[in-house]
Amino acid sequence: MCFATAIVNAQTITQNFGSGANAFSIDFVEIGNPGNAPDTTGSPNPAGSVSYTYNIAKYEVSREMIDKANADAGLGITLQDMTNYGGNGVNKPATGISWYGAAKFVNYLNIISGSTAAYKFDASGNFQLWSTSDVGFNPNNPFRNSVARYFLPSSPEWYKAAYGSPNGTWYDYATGSDVAPTPVSGGTEPNTAVYAQLIETGPSDITYAGGLSAYGTMAQGGNVWEWTETAHDGLNNDVLEYREERGAGWGDFGSHDLASFDRDNVFPTDEGFYVIGFRVASVPEPSALSLLAVGLGGVAMIRRRRS
């Protein structure tokens, strides 16, 4: 473990979705160093080894993103009313969404981009496991279709982006440091995080929610807890398994809630939790720079820039 704060120099990949009044964008950062050695000091143990390069959203999904996806495709995803918890600003993290609701948002991103849905739902909207007869079935993860481009980050994917680094060093906190971050109500200073705040303060805007991880993500510690794709037991073989959540929220007073050795679990249909949000992950494509796919009445375009 290293006690210095990591210096971030991450490339941001901005991907745009929707069209017209329903257009929105998601910024991703690349998580490289494929085949990295796992961390043996966190939870679960070992944790964070990923054999491939992938991208993960720099910020949590915002309320505006959900509202625009709902308007564009009639998803019917409901949000928690945050009037008593800092307000319902468009750039606040999207909370009060069940794991199933988050999965449906991710499916929308895939369909509008001309990709395959990551998660299987029947005609009644019930979540299903992918089966051997389905194209893209992965016996090691029946939750996720293996040919989908966008998905909820698995436990190893989430963990690596939060506590790992391009050079393979592991940190206790998602700010590139083994020193607990300074609690703040908002901001972007290194080694700060939005926690230890009064409940009525609410979370910060997604782009103003603390210092960055070594890979360049924000608020994987603090602001709101986040769903991961993975069942708490790691097996992903039961539609009703409790899902892992990580990262802690603005009202958690102990820094241990933000640390690599802490995680919790929630029933996937629960949507009344005003402290739980999520972020999106994806796999890169060689043709990403020229992608122009039309679906569900919207347009998905990709561009790259330096942050």
Cα 146 to chain centroid distance, Å, stands at: 18
Residue ranges in the chain assigned as alpha helix (H): 63-73, 99-112, 155-163
**For 87-107, what is each residue's pLDDT tens digit?**
999 999 999 999 999 999 999
Burial of residue 2 (CB within 10 Å: 0-12, 13-18, 19+) is middle
Give the Cβ contact number of residue 38 at 10 Å: 18
Q: What's the pLDDT tens digit per position in 158-179?
A: 999 999 999 999 999 999 999 9
Q: Is the peptide bond before 153 cis (omega within 30 degrees of 0)?
A: no
Structure confidence by residue, pLDDT tens digits, 121-160: 999 999 999 999 999 999 999 999 999 999 999 999 999 9
Where are the alpha helices (H) located in 35-154, listed in sequence order? Answer: 63-73, 99-112
The fold of 15-306 is paralog of FGE (formylglycine-generating enzyme) (3.90.1580)
% of the chain beyond a pLDDT of 90: 87
Q: How many CB atoms lie within 10 A of CB 21?
A: 8
R_g of the chain computed on alpha carbons: 18
Q: What is the pLDDT of residues 215-253, one digit of tens each?
A: 999 999 999 999 999 999 999 999 999 999 999 999 999
- Quote the pTM value: 0.91
Question: Which one is predicted more confidently, 285 or 18?
Answer: 18
Q: Is the pLDDT of residue 291 over 60?
A: no
Distance CA(304)–CA(307), nearest Å, equals 10
Question: For position 286, what pLDDT does the model report?
Answer: 39
Is the pLDDT confidence value at 292 over 60? Answer: no
Show Cβ contacts of residue 25 under 8 Å, excluding neighbours closer than 6 positions.
Answer: 14, 15, 16, 17
Kindly indicate the confidence band of residue 11, based on its pLDDT and cuts at 50, 70 and 90: confident
Residue 290 has pLDDT above 70, yes or no: no
List CB contacts of 191: < 8 A, sequence separation 6 or more: 5, 173, 175, 176, 177, 179, 181, 182, 211
Q: Across the strands, what pairs with 303?
A: 14
Residue 7 burial by Cβ neighbours in a 10 Å radius (0-12, 13-18, 19+): exposed
Q: Residue type at 193?
A: A
Residue range 200-221: average pLDDT?
98
Banded pLDDT at 270 (limits 50, 70, 90): confident
Average pLDDT in the chain: 90
What pLDDT, on a 0 to 100 scale, did the predictor assign at position 273? 85
Rounded distance between C-alpha atoms, residue 271 and residue 233, angstroms = 21
Q: Is the pLDDT at 276 greater than 90, yes or no?
A: yes
Q: Hey, where are the domains in the chain?
A: 15-306
Spell out the long-range contacts of 250-254 with Cβ–Cβ below 8 A and sequence spacing 24 or more: 250/185, 250/194, 250/195, 250/197, 250/199, 250/201, 250/202, 250/203, 250/204, 250/222, 250/223, 250/224, 250/275, 251/195, 251/197, 251/198, 251/199, 251/201, 251/275, 252/195, 252/196, 252/222, 253/195, 253/196
Nearest one of 181, 174, 245, 243 to 214, comparing CA atoms: 174
